[in-house]
Structure 1
Amino acid sequence: MLQIAMLIYPDMFDVDLIGPQTFLQRLGDADVFYVWKDRGPIVSDLGVTYAATHDFASCPANLDVLFVPGGLKGAMPLLRDGAVLDFLADRGARAKYVASVCTGSLLLGAAGLLTGYKATSYWMVRDLLPLFGAELVPERVVIDRNRVTGGGATAGLDFGLTLASLLRGEDHAKMLQLLVEYDPQPPYDAGAPERAPAGMAERIRDKRAGEMAAAREAALSAAKRLEGGRGRLRSSNGA
């Protein structure tokens, strides 16, 4: 049975979690479960309450998939949370696939799991990925060896199908796509900054300038912590 751990945390963005789970929950012979520091309730960005079935200690040591959702409001504080980053580093070191959607990739990066890998993230913060030694590829879904990362929010659906195909094959993924009638036909073509109307991306950035500054500060702090940990490791190894 596949062991698929999905991190949950306060103020995560629900779509980042539920989009991928829509497909992962239907893989067959898979245990898909939520993990957090404890098994108490957490409230998402949209006000929905979730509860972990495993805490960090009880989460299986060897996972087929370690998945991290995003959410700018919720993910940024975790860039400074040693317990979360240490958990991700530990399970991610052995997981068959290490995966994320949206700003979840920043948490993977801060845990040292994207160094030397190509990855993507939410368009407003994806430029922070190189701080963690990752190579930014601004695509909807990026696969680099056993790292699978998705862009913001709704990219989780494409991500979920992609990961399903890696785990169960293309035919199974296509069956899941048909099962849930995933046939996107958006009324507008403004879902990426490159195709949005002129000036729209800049206006959004201006309105959220404070959040972006805080995100960069948190990422710089996390990158410094990561490099400090590597320095201690090199010293202990006599390098």
Structure 2
Amino acid sequence: MNAAFVLYDNLTALDLVGPYEVLAGHSQVTPHFVAAKAGKVRSDNGLALHADFAFDDVPTPDVIVVPGSSQWRSALDDEVLIAWLASVHKTATWTTSVCSGSTLLAKAGILTGRRATSHWAVVDTLTDDGAVVCNERVVVDGDVITAAGVSAGIDMGLTLAATLFGEMAARTIQLALEYDPQPPFDSGSPRTAPPEAVAFLRAALNGS
């Protein structure tokens, strides 16, 4: 099973690495880091990642994982990336996104009429490209899975792992990762975070 983990300039690293750690260790998965061209790609916080393959080298992946970016509006102008997503989705078994990566799927026409989610600060923009917005952590609609912000990529990966390999395999992966969230604060949602933090991030992520 060929899995394409999509890289592009200024992606959010954990969006990609979270589901990668969940899925890539399974014996049935062959991971491919893909980008418009092979080589180094930097995340939005400066982490250097490496694309082993260009998009043209991976024309028919079985699974597609699309991360988001804190600079998601700029990513929407990446015509090469959008065109590749629109093309490979047609033959993929699963197309997935994490955080604002769903805005790229929407731009590619993949979410038209589908239920989908994204980071809380940008999720409502999905309606501009025909998606049905859902404020849930992971949303499955047909052969597309979208996840909410950043850390939700691990949940998405486990959801997909359970579908692909069975619940016991997914549970075992969760245990191997010791994914047992016990955060020191209850600010992981706009419902519980301080209002000033919500306002700051909403403005920052929407370029205002």
TM bracket (short chain): over 0.9
- Per the alignment, residue 223 of structure 1 pairs with none
Q: Is 1:77 aligned to residue 74 of structure 2?
A: yes
- Per the alignment, residue 172 of structure 2 pairs with 175
**Cα contact 1:27–1:164 (8 A) shared by 2:** no
Per the alignment, in what secondary structure is the counterpart of residue 62 of structure 1?
Answer: coil
Structure 2 unmatched runs, 5+: none
Q: Is 1:153 aligned to residue 150 of structure 2?
A: yes
Instruction: State percent identity of aligned pairs.
Output: 38
- Per the alignment, residue 62 of structure 2 pairs with 64
Alignment of 1:31-50 (within 5 A): 31-50=30-49
Q: Is 1:188 aligned to residue 185 of structure 2?
A: yes
Deviation, structure 1 residue 195? 2.0
The structure with the largest alpha-carbon Rg is: 1
Counterpart CA distance in 2 for 1:142 and 1:58 is 29
Counterpart CA distance in 2 for 1:3 and 1:154 is 23
Normalized against structure 1, the TM-score is what?
0.83
Deviation, structure 1 residue 63? 2.1
Deviation, structure 1 residue 20? 0.6
Deviation, structure 1 residue 197? 3.1
Bigger proportion of residues as helix: 1
- Partner amino acid for 1:53? D
Q: Is 1:107 aligned to residue 110 of structure 2?
A: no
Structure 1 unmatched runs, 5+: 215-239
- Partner amino acid for 1:32? P
- Per the alignment, residue 27 of structure 1 pairs with 26
**Cα contact 1:66–1:99 (8 A) shared by 2:** yes
Runs of 4+ in 1 over 2 A off after TM superposition: 197-200, 202-206
Deviation, structure 1 residue 213? 4.5
Deviation, structure 1 residue 173? 0.2
Which of 183, 206, 212 is the equivalent residue of 2:206? 212
Normalized against structure 2, the TM-score is what?
0.95
Deviates more, 1:75-84 or 1:195-204: 195-204
Per the alignment, in what secondary structure is the counterpart of residue 183 of structure 2?
Answer: coil
Q: Is 1:127 aligned to residue 121 of structure 2?
A: no
- Per the alignment, residue 15 of structure 2 pairs with 16
Per-residue displacement from partner, 1:188-213 (whole Å, max 9, x unpaired)? 1111111223454234334x2xx514
Per the alignment, in what secondary structure is the counterpart of residue 72 of structure 1?
Answer: coil
- Partner amino acid for 2:182? Q
**Cα contact 2:121–2:201 (8 A) shared by 1:** no
